[in-house]
Amino acid sequence: MITKDIQVNYSIVERFKNLESTKRLAHAYLFVGSAHIGKTETALTIAKMFCCEGEPAGEQLFCGQCSSCKKIDSSCHPDIHFINSDFGEQIKIEQIRELLTQVKLRPFMAQKKIFIIKNVENITLEGSNALLKTLEEPAGDSLLILTTSVPEKNLDTIKSRCHMVRFLSATQQDLARHIKKHYNEDEITAQYFAYFAEGCFGKVKLLQEKKWFQKKNEIIDGFLYKGWNDDVIKKILEDKEKVKELLDVLLSWIRDCMLIKHDIEQNNLINIDREEDLKGFADRFTFEELVDLNREIIKTCKLLSEKLNLKIPISVIKEML
Ligand SMILES: [Zn+2]
């Protein structure tokens, strides 16, 4: 029995199944959607479906038991090639050259060879130009699946040679429902995770692993209630990921305070577990001051994405509190 992977977009897998059975499968696809939305998991599921040698039971798309399925699970299938680059990690020309050599060979055990390139925006210009050749002169038995969360960073020449497949974000309600069911969380925690998961089931898992609910309260106590001294903040500034967490938590907090000022229903608060603190905090500011704070935090988030030094912007926010 195969348990359904929550990160896989099965409607997209089904679409590929139909394309293949009606002989309309193209040679190259670009999967576009937020980070952690399940693009790679979906691509690997498609690979399993196309390569499975067993007899999938009922509505299953692959058997999960045959040598092909097992080889894909352990990343050693000779016909599945996966270039994995993490956020900001460059894909080198050598990796693309190796891929081009493989594209020209016939499959070893499956009907087709499948190439998955994760975060294709990380490819160097040289690499892109090499890849273009494959996209222009496809080998009949190969399927290329490229993934990206930032389509604007990819060359138009690459985009125009691929069929675009968009992964839509899940609604907060859907996410909260899944979190309650799959992670056994209470309503408050589920709502909180759903907000921070930004539409991605995959991100829920990451938040859970990070013990995010506990962590966000440490950030609130530390930064907003003056528990942290300059040394702690200096340490945080050294780690981009930690700065992002701090800014995300601050945004959620100020957002809640603005809602409280407007007497919005409390069910909509993200930090509902800290309702009393929120009320006390909101009392100290006018609505305009909260708007200014919100603006300052958003401005700092932008600077973070531009990789600028955040020492001064963070101390400006701290002064405003
Ligand atoms: Zn199988």
Joined tokens for residue 124: 């160097």
Give the distance (Å) from ligand 1 centre to CA of residue 75: 14
CB 278 within 8 A of CB 257: yes
Distance 49 CA to ligand 1 centre (A): 8
- How many angstroms from the chain centroid is the CA of residue 12? 17
Over residues 298-307, the mean pLDDT reads 84
What is the 165 CA–ligand 1 centroid distance (Å)? Answer: 25
Among the residue ranges 1-10, 23-32, 49-58, 221-230, the one predicted with the least confidence is 1-10
**10-166 has which CATH code?**
3.40.50.300
**Mean pLDDT computed over 108-119:** 92
Average pLDDT score over residue span 55-81? 92
User: What is the CA(281)–ligand 1 centre distance, in A?
Assistant: 57
Mean pLDDT throughout 267-285?
90
* CA 69–ligand 1 middle distance (angstroms): 4
Higher pLDDT, 115 or 196: 115
183 burial class (0-12, 13-18, 19+ CB within 10 angstroms)? middle
Nearest to 149 by CA among 54, 259, 33, 65: 33
Cα of 184 to ligand 1 centre, how many Å?
A: 31
How does pLDDT run across 84-106, given as a tens digit for each residue?
887 667 898 999 999 988 888 88
Decide if pLDDT at 61 tops 60. Answer: yes
Give the pLDDT band of residue 318 (cuts 50, 70, 90).
confident
How much is the pLDDT for 309? Answer: 80
Q: Give the tens place of pLDDT for each residue, 249-258.
A: 999 999 999 9
Arithmetic mean of pLDDT, 218-228: 89
- Over 90: is that where the pLDDT of 24 sits? yes
Mean residue pLDDT across the chain: 88
Q: What number of residues does the chain have?
A: 321
How many angstroms separate the alpha carbon of residue 82 from the centre of ligand 1?
19
When pLDDT is cut at 50, 70 and 90, the band that residue 1 belongs to is very low
Nearest-angstrom CA–CA distance, 147 and 67: 26
How far is ligand 1, taken at its centre, from the CA of residue 30, in Å? 25
% of residues, the chain, pLDDT over 90: 46
> pTM of the predicted model, to two decimals?
0.75
